[in-house]
Structures are given as structure tokens and as C-alpha cells.
Amino acid sequence: MATIIKHYRSWGRFPKSTPKQVIPVQWRSELPDFNAIEGTVLPFGYGRTYGDVCLNNGGTLLDTTFLNRMLAFDEENGIVCVEAGVSLEDIVSFIVPRGWFLPVTPGTKYVSVAGAIANDVHGKNHHSAGTFGCFVTRFELVRSSGERLICSPDENTELFKATIGGLGLTGLITWAEFRLKPIPSRLIDVERIRFENLGEFYEIDDESVEDYEYTVSWVDAMATGEHLARGVYMRGRHFDPPLPSNGHLSLPEVRVPFDLPSVLLNKFTLKAMSSGFYGLNFRKESRSIEHINPYFYPLDSIKDWNKGYGTRGFLQYQFCVPDKDRKAVREISKTIANSGEGVFLTVFKRFGDLESPGMLSFPRPGITYALDFPNTPTLENLLSRLDDMVLEAGGRLYPAKDARMSARHFQAFYPNWQEFARYVDPKFSSSFWRRVTGETAC
């Protein structure tokens, strides 16, 4: 890693927020005295959630990135135990040469293990593996009372469930243990198939979910009419038999060094980029063998890519909807395409029905849609329409990506939020939590 700048901002750089103070947590034996801190606290890792889930405007942030030690690795059974601030990158670079991989990985390695638990992250294998939380065997949770609790499926079960997907609100995770999965090689066998519209997507998806561990699609969300939701379907599995390993494959690092002027991002450039992804795949079908890193983390090779959206930041909008009749997905796709809003990098994926232990966990069986919108003045019109459509279809939004859903919508998306609230530590809060529960005090 090159020089870093710490901002204590979220990845979407919206909303702007200023903590009153930041307390670094470096040692598990030297935790801050919660009762001596005025106001509320919230753990903060690498700031990769997009909206305000990781922000505590006016309150205290506990920087956990110095809690970055490995505690144990059972190479035989593939179980790793690490401190809360260890990044998935650190774990991946260490376990892959030893024949193991993350059981579930989000699209970036630059997240902490505790953050992966707190947001119960998912990946391209949700349909076959579930969420990250499904593989967590235990962790230590420190409450503001000073109590240190070991939480697992058998011990402090309720807090275990509340903390997985619990958005950092149930206390401070200091270490966590989780299961890995064995891999035959560092390579992924990937097939890319172009689809002309939503109907074709479903055809390919139906024949792929059984046999392919990883599936995801890039969609040209700005295409309309008979090309509605055209895109590229990508399905993959670990390549076996292994090729002879010859050390690390690494890509040169590209970095966006400064904020691009927002004027570069307009409807036309976005349309070109959006359809460009579609057009890049000029053949109908192609197959390639790819290294784990570019396959799972394509954007990690461009450091600070979020700055490409300029100082106004951007909003990512991710929801999932049940798709028994496929009508909701079609209607929502239409609304987006016809809205005239620019959209870049749209990801489309089927969620499976494996249930997470997490009380507030986001994924539900159906289709998930993740869109990146530059933050324009008219965007809110579209998004509030989408909120209602998602709600009506029985879907929900993903808190980790959210910066704006209303309290009313959140409470309807997550009808068990009050049950969850019973496990929230009285000293812990976030900008997000205050927003969606209608609390104003900090």
C-alpha cells in the first residue's frame, strides 16, 4: 500500500459527517473506558460502507484498524481466528497460498473482518453459500458495561444473531473466528455470456445456479425497450486441476489521485461507460481462466476509485426483491432505464435461500440489484419512487449501501427492527441508526 490518508468518511463520501473524536483501539487489553466517553460511540474500520452506517456524526469513532493481528490458524481444518481490524486482504494473501479461501467475499478485500460481520456481507456465491455470517463460529463482543462476551451459535446466541448484520451497534467486536473453504488452485474458470434482455438473463440464470458456484451479471441499466436490462452474465467456479503455482500474480496498481471534476460525469459519458461494459463483451460467449484477485476484486486494483465520482460523491442503491413472478424486477428495471438518470456499474444477481443467523441480515431469496448513481439534484425523485416499488414488491434496501432511506421505509423493510433494537448497546449509535429510528440525540 502506498501512502494513505485517513478521513473517517464513508466510501460514497456522502453524507458529509464529522466525528467529535476518534479513539484508536490498538490492544484488546487496553480498551477505552466507555463510560468516560461523552455521547455515543461506533466502531470504524476501513470505511467501505457507502452511506452513513459507519458514521457517527458528532459522536465518537473507535478506529479498530490497529487491532490487526492474527490469533490462530488451523491449517488442517481451515479455521482462522483474527482480531477485529484484520482486513480480508491480509487474510486472503495469507491463506490462498495455503490452499484456502474466504467462504464468502464482498467485491473488495479492503474491509475488516468485524465490518464483514457487522454488515453480514455477501458475494457472488450467495446462491450456493449464503452470507459471511453463516461461516462465523464465534467472536468476542465487548459491551459498554465492560462485559466481555463470547458469542457463538451456542453461547449468547441472541447477541450472536443480533451482531451479525448488526451494523456495529451491539458492542465492540474485538476478535472473530470463522471457517474458510478449501480451493484446488488460485484460479477461477469464468464464462461470460451476453444476454439481450431480462428474459435471456433468466434463461441463463436458471441453467447456471445449480452448477456454478459464482454467478453475477453486469447490466446496462440505461438500455430501454427490447434491450431492457441487457448485460453480461458471468459464471465461475474454482479451476481444477491446479496449474503449477509460481508465486503471486499481481497487477500494477492504478490509483485515482485526485477528484475528477464532476462535469466529466454526465448522462452521455455514463451511457457510454454503461453500454461499454456490454459492448466489451463483443462475442456472445467467452471463457477464461482468471486469478482470484482480478476476478473477485476488479476494482481493488484502482485505489480510491470512488474519487472518480468527484467531490459531490455518489450513491449506491442496492435492494433485493422476491421474483416469483418476475414482474417487479421488470417494472423496476423499466423505471430506472426511463428515468434519464445516469447510472454506472450496475450489478445484478440472484440470492439463494440459505438463511443467515443475522437478525438484521439483508439478503432474501430473489434478485438483488446494485446501482451506482452520481449524486445529482434530481436523483432523489427516482430513488424515492424505487423505495416504494421495492417495498410493494416485498423487498428491502441494503443498509451498508444506504445514505437516504426514510425511517418509515427501513421499518417496513426490516419489520423485526424493534426486536433487534433490544440488543443495541445503549452507548452505541450511528448516523444511520438515528436516521432510520427517528432518534435525534447523539
Q: Would you tell me which residues interact with other proteins (CB under 8 A)?
A: 1-6, 22-24, 26-29, 63, 66, 69-73, 94
Nearer to other proteins, 63 or 120 (CB): 63
Nearer to other proteins, 146 or 153 (CB): 146
Inter-residue contact 323 to 126 (CB < 8 Å): no
CB of 5 to other proteins, least distance (A): 6
CB of 96 to other proteins, least distance (A): 13
Nearer to other proteins, 5 or 441 (CB): 5
CB of 81 to other proteins, least distance (A): 9
CB of 8 to other proteins, least distance (A): 9
In the chain, what is the greatest distance between 2 CA atoms, to the nearest angstrom?
Answer: 62
Q: Which residue has the cell 446501482?
A: 371
Crossing angle of helices 327-339 and 379-392, in 10° steps, is: 170
Q: Comparing C-alpha atoms, which of 121, 132, 106, 113 is closest to residue 174?
A: 113
CB of 250 to other proteins, least distance (A): 14
Nearer to other proteins, 2 or 36 (CB): 2
Nearer to other proteins, 8 or 202 (CB): 8
Nearer to other proteins, 1 or 36 (CB): 1
CB of 6 to other proteins, least distance (A): 5
CB of 110 to other proteins, least distance (A): 12
Nearer to other proteins, 98 or 408 (CB): 98
Inter-residue contact 179 to 78 (CB < 8 Å): yes
Nearer to other proteins, 4 or 243 (CB): 4
Cα dist from 237 to 136, 256, 283, 289, 389, whole Å: 23, 31, 21, 10, 34
CB of 3 to other proteins, least distance (A): 5
Nearer to other proteins, 13 or 161 (CB): 13
Cα dist from 222 to 69, 276, 345, whole Å: 45, 11, 11
In SS3 terms, the chain reads as CCCCCCCCCCCCCCCCCCCCEEEECCCCCCCCCHHHCCCCEEEECCCCCCCCCCCCCCCEEEECCCCCCEEEEECCCCEEEEECCCEHHHHHHHHHHHCEECCCCCCCCCCEHHHHHHCCCCCCCHHHHCCHHHHEEEEEEECCCCCEEEECCCCCHHHHHHHCCCCCCCCEEEEEEEECEECCCCEEEEEEEEECCHHHHHHHHHHHCCCCCEEEEEECCCCCHHHCCCEEEEEEEECCCCCCCCCCCCCCCEECCCCCCHHHCCHHHHHHHHHHHHHHCCCCEEEEEEEHHHHHCHHHHEECHHHHHCCCCEEEEEEEECCCCCHHHHHHHHHHHHHCCCCEEEEEEEECCCCCCCCCCCCCCEEEEEEEEECCCCHHHHHHHHHHHHHHCCCEECHHHCCCCCHHHHHHHCCCHHHHHCCCCCCECCHHHHHHHCCCCC
CB of 2 to other proteins, least distance (A): 6
Nearer to other proteins, 94 or 277 (CB): 94
CB of 194 to other proteins, least distance (A): 41
CB of 28 to other proteins, least distance (A): 7
Nearer to other proteins, 90 or 341 (CB): 90
